[in-house]
Amino acid sequence: MAVGVHGRGSLKSVPKDQQTKPLINEHKRINDRTAAQVMSEILQVTTETLPIGEEVIIESTITEGVRAKPGKEVGGNPTIAVGALFGKPKHRASYGGAMPNSISMLSMGNDVIDGTTKSVKGMHSSLTALFLIESQVKRHLPDIYVQRWMSGSHFEEFNPREASIIDAARIIADSYNHSNLEQLSSFFIDRKRHLPAMNALNKAGVAIPYDSDGDLFPSLILGIDGLTFPNGRSMNSMIGEIGGSAEWAVGVLPLVWRGGQALGMLTSHSSLTRSDSSPDELWNNRFHYTEEELIMIQDARFQQKPYFSIHDIIEDPFSGGISAFGSITDNIYIPFLKGVTADPEEGTIKVNVLVINSLGVTECWLMKFKCREGLQNTVTKLGSPKEELEGLRGKELETAIGRMIDNEDQRRRYRIFFNNEYYPASVPIRDKLALLNEALEGLIKRGALKDIDREIVEITHRLAPEWWVDPAV
């Protein structure tokens, strides 16, 4: 909802010839920041006010936006980072130690915006994504590309390294009891790396729907009865598509709840982002890991099983849980899932949300919010505290930050912004942080952060010493 009224279509006000890659990325960071801020605030306010006996603590375990995309994005986007905690202060402070049995421990996966480019251009099918589950995450998925095989109908696990793309298509077609591959469709993001797989599947008769951005939402709706393209074909699989690991996990859990199945396999992010490689070279080298990537895979304990299902990631995928996907812009896959609308005269905001729970119940909710003090006042409050710091330096910046830290409500909002913005340069230790100065300088050097961010961190470190553990390292 926040992005729908505070950032959606922001690039439309910029002339086409001025829409440079850095400018587009800056607009994307602003929308990510807004989404992460408001999502975090809602989670924190909700968990802080739960009555005794219903208390929970939520840990963010799967997230998106961390990795750099060479030649495209510098990474470190504002997000709800892995390790972020939501709950009452006393529970956050003791997290990791002995917790009362009455406190429910929830794991969270999120992609604060799926289709961020679409959100700044005002294009279709941009959304926020979140799941909560009463289960622990037993393996951390490295934030690198994952190749995926997904179906809205259950299929038995197979080893994708030993099966061709057509073999995989036949396995998924069998899960639907399709007699031939011409009844199958396979979704892809329109990327050069996918051309060999798309061509092979298309040659075998598989329909290939594709889009320019956003491969999370299509995974949620694979195989839903009644959802068809104008030609009568349905969206029923992903076969060999390669995208982010967070999008895989956040999309797979609801798909499995609905009775579907999915496999994933970690690929080489560095090999797949080489601009000097042909489509065939990208595809053939997708498992040519760098030493750093191989270490990440080994640390996550995937070296003995190169492919995985949701059962390898989440301890008990069918424990109680819910997922929600808020539509920022009109959705083309579910036409009645409209984007956020606002009525200034009524002072109301409407948002459509796709909800899938662990029982497989799938619903679309229309939520209508009444603004207490008018629409414009609400829109202003839905922004990030960083917007209030733009253009300030020195004493003015310190005064503005000090004003936020000294106000109880603004202090909470500012701490959320700080956590979501500077997580690549800090280590959460229960409810405190350890600052990593060298990491901060590295982020500034590569353009993920700016000089003003160094000043914001230094001022915050000085004005709120109780937020920090040992001296900065």
pLDDT at 473: 45
How does residue 73 score in pLDDT terms, banded at 50, 70 and 90?
low
Q: pLDDT tens digits for 97-112?
A: 788 888 999 999 999 9
User: Is there a domain that residue 159 lies in?
Assistant: yes
Do 339 and 353 form a contact (C-beta atoms < 8 A)? no
For position 180, which CATH number holds? 3.40.190.90
Q: Which residue has the tokens 């982002």?
A: 273
Judge if 307 and 181 occupy the same domain. yes
Category of 191 on φ-ψ map: left (φ > 0), alpha (ψ -120 to 50) or beta: beta
Judge if 168 and 271 occupy the same domain. yes
Q: pLDDT tens digits for 329-368?
A: 999 999 999 999 999 999 999 999 999 999 999 999 999 9
Judge if 167 and 307 occupy the same domain. yes
pLDDT at 226: 87
How does residue 68 score in pLDDT terms, banded at 50, 70 and 90?
low
Q: pLDDT tens digits for 206-235?
A: 999 999 988 999 999 999 988 888 888 899
Judge if 203 and 293 occupy the same domain. yes
Judge if 442 and 307 occupy the same domain. no
User: Is there a domain that residue 192 lies in?
Assistant: yes
What is the token pair recorded at 125? 């099918």
- State the pairing for strand pair 127-133/237-244: unpaired
User: Is there a domain that residue 388 lies in?
Assistant: yes
Select from 278, 312, 346 the last residue of a domain.
Answer: 312
Q: Within its chain, how far is the Cα of 322 from the centroid? A: 16
Q: pLDDT tens digits for 141-172?
A: 887 899 999 999 999 999 999 999 999 999 99
**pLDDT of residue 184 exceeding 70:** yes
Smallest CA-to-CA distance from 347 within 381, 380, 383, 376 is with 376
User: Is there a domain that residue 200 lies in?
Assistant: yes
Between CA 59 and CA 300 the distance in angstroms is 18
Judge if 307 and 399 occupy the same domain. no
β-bridge mates for residue 353, sequence order: 326, 365
Say how many domains are in the chain: 2
User: Is there a domain that residue 27 lies in?
Assistant: no
Q: Which residue has the tokens 């030609």?
A: 231
Judge if 307 and 427 occupy the same domain. no
Mean pLDDT of the chain: 92
Domain hosting 463: range is 384-473
3-state SS of the chain is CHHHHCCCCHHHHCCHHHCCHHHHHHHHHHHHHHHHHHHHHHHHHHHHCCCCCCCEEEEEEECCCCCCECCCECCCCCCCCCCCEECCHHHHHCCCCCCCCCCEEEEEEEEEEECHHHHHHCCCCCEEEEEEECCCECCCCCCCEEEEEEECCCCCCCCHHHCCHHHHHHHHHHHCCCCCHHHCECCEECCHHHHHHHHHHHHCCCECCEECCCCCHHHHCCCCCCCECCCCCECCEEEEEEEEHHHHHHHHHHHHHCCCEEEEEECCHHHHCCCCCCHHHHHHCCCCCCHHHHHHHHHCCCCCCCEECHHHCECCCCCCEEEEEEECCCCCCCCCCCCCEEECCCCEEEEEEEEEECCCCEEEEEEEEECCCCHHHHHHHCCCHHHHHCCCCHHHHHHHHHHHHHCHHHHHHHHHHHHHHHHHHEEEECCEEEECHHHHHHHHHCCCCCHHHHHHHHHHHHHCHHHECCCCC
Q: pLDDT tens digits for 244-270?
A: 888 899 999 999 999 999 999 999 988
Select from 279, 312, 345 the last residue of a domain.
Answer: 312
How does residue 67 score in pLDDT terms, banded at 50, 70 and 90?
low
Judge if 151 and 259 occupy the same domain. yes
Judge if 209 and 297 occupy the same domain. yes
User: Is there a domain that residue 239 lies in?
Assistant: yes
Between CA 473 and CA 457 the distance in angstroms is 13
User: Is there a domain that residue 229 lies in?
Assistant: yes
pLDDT at 100: 84
What is the token pair recorded at 52? 């005794």
Judge if 187 and 304 occupy the same domain. yes
Judge if 182 and 264 occupy the same domain. yes
Give the list of residues 6+ apart from residue 393 with CB closer than 8 angstroms, or none. 452, 455
Select from 252, 281, 312 the last residue of a domain.
Answer: 312
Judge if 197 and 295 occupy the same domain. yes
User: Is there a domain that residue 183 lies in?
Assistant: yes
